[in-house]
A and B are shown apart, each in its own frame.
Chain A
Amino acid sequence: MLRTITKTLIGAVFAGGLLVPHAFAETTLNALFMAQAAYSEADVRAMTDAFTKANPDVKVNLEFVPYEGLHDKTVLAQGSGGGYDVVLFDVIWPAEYATNKVLVDVTSKITDDMKKGVLPGAWTTVQYDGKYYGMPWILDTKYLFYNKDILEKAGIKTPPKTWEELGAQAKIIQDKGLLKTPIAWSWSQAEAAICDYTTLVSAYGGDFLKDGKPDFQNGGGLSALKYMVDSYKSGLTNPNSKEFLEEDVRKVFENGDAAFALNWTYMYNMANDPKDSKVAGKVGVVPAPGVTGISEVSAVNGSMGLGVTAVSKHPDEAWKYITFMTSQATQNQYAKLSLPIWASSYDDPAVTKGQEELIAAAKLGLAAMYPRPTTPKYQELSTALQQAIQESLLGQSSPEDALKTAAQNSGL
C-alpha cells in the first residue's frame, strides 16, 4: 500500500516535470527460477529481499516455473526478444546457451576469491569451451535415501554399498513382507529419468560420447539400462516409477512406501520434517552405490547456475544480484534444502548442524559427480534417451536395440 502511494507520488512528480531525487532511480531486474527441488520459492524470495534491502535502487521481479519448463521458457523469452535479465540454468545447457548466445560470457568477472573458494567440481556447471557463463548456485547430485526403520525391521545393518547389494537388500525387505516394491525412482519421460540413468552410467564406468559420437549403447551405458530394466522386471522397483518425477518419489518415500529412493539434496530435510512426512527422523542418506571392481560410489552432476542473459539491459546489476545470491553468507544461511558451493562451508558448524549425515554423503557424492554430455544438441540426445529408457522398461524393445535407436536419433 505504502509502496503504491510512493509510486503514485513519484509518478505525480514525474508528471509535474520536476526533478526526481536520485535515490528513487530504480533498475528493475527480471529473474527466472524454478519451482521445485533445491531452494524453495520462499527461500529465493527471502534471499532476494535481503539483496534489495542492501541495494534499494534495484528491484527484482521473480518468476518461478517447474523445472520441465525452465529451458524452453528461457529460450522462448530470448527468441521473442527480451524478458529476463537473470536465469537459472541446468548443467546440461551451457553448451547450447553459449553456442546460441543466450547467456553472456562472464569469464572476466569471476574473481580469484571465487576461483579459490568454490569447490572445483562446481565450475563445470557453468563452463563451456573454457569460458564461464555464470556462477554455480545449486550444487546437487542424487543420493540414495533409505528408510532406517524398514532396514532395521528387515535386519539389515548397513545401507548398500553396491547396486547389486541394493537389489539383494530390497529382496529381503520384499520377502519379509515389509514392502511390496521397496525401491522408488523418477523414470517418467523427462530429464529426471536421464539423471537416474546417468547415476548408473557413472557407477558402471560408461561413456555417453566418444569422440563426439554416441557411446552409451555399449559397455557401461548398456549395463546401466539393463540394471534399470532388471530392477523393474524383478518387481523390486515400484512399477509406478515409470511415471514418477522427483516430487512423486518424495511423496512415496515420505509416506513410508519406499525403503530406498534416489533423489536430490532437498529431500533430506523435507522428509525429516514431521509436519508433512511420516518418516521424519528415520531418513538415512548415503552416496548412490557403486559397482564392484568399477566404482565406489556413483553420482550425477545435477548442479545449476545463475547467468546473465545476452538481452539484459542491466548486466552489471544482474551480475551484482547473482554475486549476492551465490555468496557464501547467503548460501550458508539457506543450507537446508541445497548445499553451498563453497568448500569451507562444509566444515562450518552453522551449515552442518543437524544434517551431518547429509554432509558426509555430500563429501563423497559431490566429489564423484559425473556430467551429462556437453553438447549443443543435448535436448535431442536426452529426448532420444528418455524414449529408449521408457521403451525398455515397458518391454517394447530390448535395452540393446533401444539404445542403438537412441544413438541414431541423438542428432549427433
Chain B
Amino acid sequence: MSSTWMTTRAWLLMLPLLVVMVAVIGWPLVDTVGLSFTDAKLVGTGGNYVGFDNYTNMLSSSNFSRTLVTTTLFAVISVAAEMVIGVLAALLLNQQFHGRAVLRALMILPWALPTVVNATLWRLIYNPEYGALNAALTQLHLIDAYRSWLGEPGTALAALIVADCWKNFPLVALIALAALQAVPRDITAASLVDGAGAFNRFRFVILPYLAGPLMVALVLRTIEAFKVFDIIWVMTRGGPANSTRTLSILVYQEAFSFQRAGSGASLALIVTLLVTVLAAAYAALVRKTAGSAA
C-alpha cells in the first residue's frame, strides 16, 4: 500500500461528506458574504454593490456596541455559572447514594426540554403578578413587594441568565460526570492515604482528568451563548428598552423585521467571525491544557 493511495482513498471516503458540507454550509456562507456587500432587500430583486458600507455602518452604530456588551455579559456570566454548577452537580452525582439514578435522569430534563418550553416556564415563574418566584421570595421575606423581573433593565438580563443556566448546566454536568467516571479509584484512594484534603484532592487529582472534557464543554457553551436567540426572544424580545437585546436578535431584526438582507448578512458575518476567533482561541487552550495534563 503506497501512502499516496492511502491518502487518495481517505479523500474518496470523505467525498460524500464534503459534498454535503459544501452544499449546506459552504455555499450559503459564500452567498452570505456576497450579500453583505449589497443593499439587497429580503424580498424583491437583488441589491446594488455598496462595498464595505454595511460593515462600517454596523460597526460604528451605537446599537451594535451596546448589543455586543449585552451579549458578552450574557455569555460570560451564564457560561461561567454553568461550568461551576455543572461540575458541582457532577461531583455530587458521582457519589454513591440512594436514588442517584433517579436524580441523574431528572437532571437531564431541563436540557432535554425544548428551549421554547423552558422559556415559557420561566416566564410563568417570573410573572410579576402571579409568578412563583415573587410568591416564594415574599413568603421568605426576601422582598417586600412583588417585582417585575423581566420589566426592569437591572434584573431582566440576570433573570434570563438564570433561565439559561437552568437549561444548560446539565450538559456541562453530563460531560464532567463522564470524565469523573474515568478517574481511577486507586489514585483517589492513594491520595486519601497520603492525607490530601478534599480541595487538594479535587485540585491535583481529579481536575487534570476533567480539564480536557471541560474545555470542550466550555467551547461549546460559549459559542452557543454568544449566538443566543430563542430563550431571549420568547421571554423579553430584547426588552425592556433593549437591555436584553443580543447580537442574534439584532441580526434577526435587521434581516427579517426590517428586511435589510444585505445589512443583516454583514452583521451575521461579524458575529460568525467573533465566534470563530473565540472558538480558535479555546481550541488552542485545549491543546495546551491537554499537552500539560499529559
Q: Which residues of A contact B (CB under 8 A)?
A: 68, 71-72, 75-76, 78-79, 96, 100-102, 188-190, 239-240, 242-243, 248, 251-252, 255, 257, 377, 379-380, 383, 386-387, 390-391, 394, 396, 411
CB proximity of A119 to chain B, nearest CB, Å: 31
CB proximity of A398 to chain B, nearest CB, Å: 14
B256 at interface (Cβ–Cβ under 8 A)?
yes
CB proximity of B229 to chain A, nearest CB, Å: 13
B145 and chain A: residue at smallest CB distance: A180
A243–B44 contact, CB under 8 A?
Answer: no
CB proximity of B120 to chain A, nearest CB, Å: 11
CB proximity of B239 to chain A, nearest CB, Å: 3
Does more than half of chain A's interface fall in helix, strand or loop, or is it mixed? helix
A390–B148 contact, CB under 8 A?
Answer: no
A243–B42 contact, CB under 8 A?
Answer: no
A189 to B256, CA, bound (A): 17
Query: Contact partner of A387 among B150, B241, B258, CB < 8 A?
Result: B241
B104 at interface (Cβ–Cβ under 8 A)?
no
| Count of CB-CB pairs between chains A and B under 8 Å | 82
B242 and chain A: residue at smallest CB distance: A387
Q: Which residues of B contact A (CB under 8 A)?
A: 41-44, 127-130, 148, 150-153, 236-242, 252-253, 256-259, 261
Query: Contact partner of A243 among B41, B148, B252, CB < 8 A?
Result: B148
A239–B239 contact, CB under 8 A?
Answer: no
B259–A100 contact, CB under 8 A?
Answer: yes
Contacts of B259 in A (CB 8 A): 75, 96, 100, 379
A390-B241, A390-B242, A396-B241 known; 5 new pairs, CB 8 Å cut-off, are: A189-B241, A240-B129, A243-B240, A248-B127, A394-B241
CB proximity of A298 to chain B, nearest CB, Å: 25
Contacts of B236 in A (CB 8 A): 189, 243
A190–B237 contact, CB under 8 A?
Answer: yes
CB proximity of B53 to chain A, nearest CB, Å: 16
A78–B43 contact, CB under 8 A?
Answer: yes
A411 to B44, CA, bound (A): 19
B240 and chain A: residue at smallest CB distance: A390
What are 23 sample pairs from A and B whose C-beta atoms fall under 8 A apart?
A: A72-B256, A75-B42, A75-B43, A76-B256, A79-B42, A102-B43, A189-B236, A189-B241, A190-B239, A240-B129, A243-B128, A243-B236, A248-B127, A251-B129, A255-B129, A377-B258, A386-B239, A387-B242, A390-B239, A390-B241, A391-B241, A396-B153, A396-B241
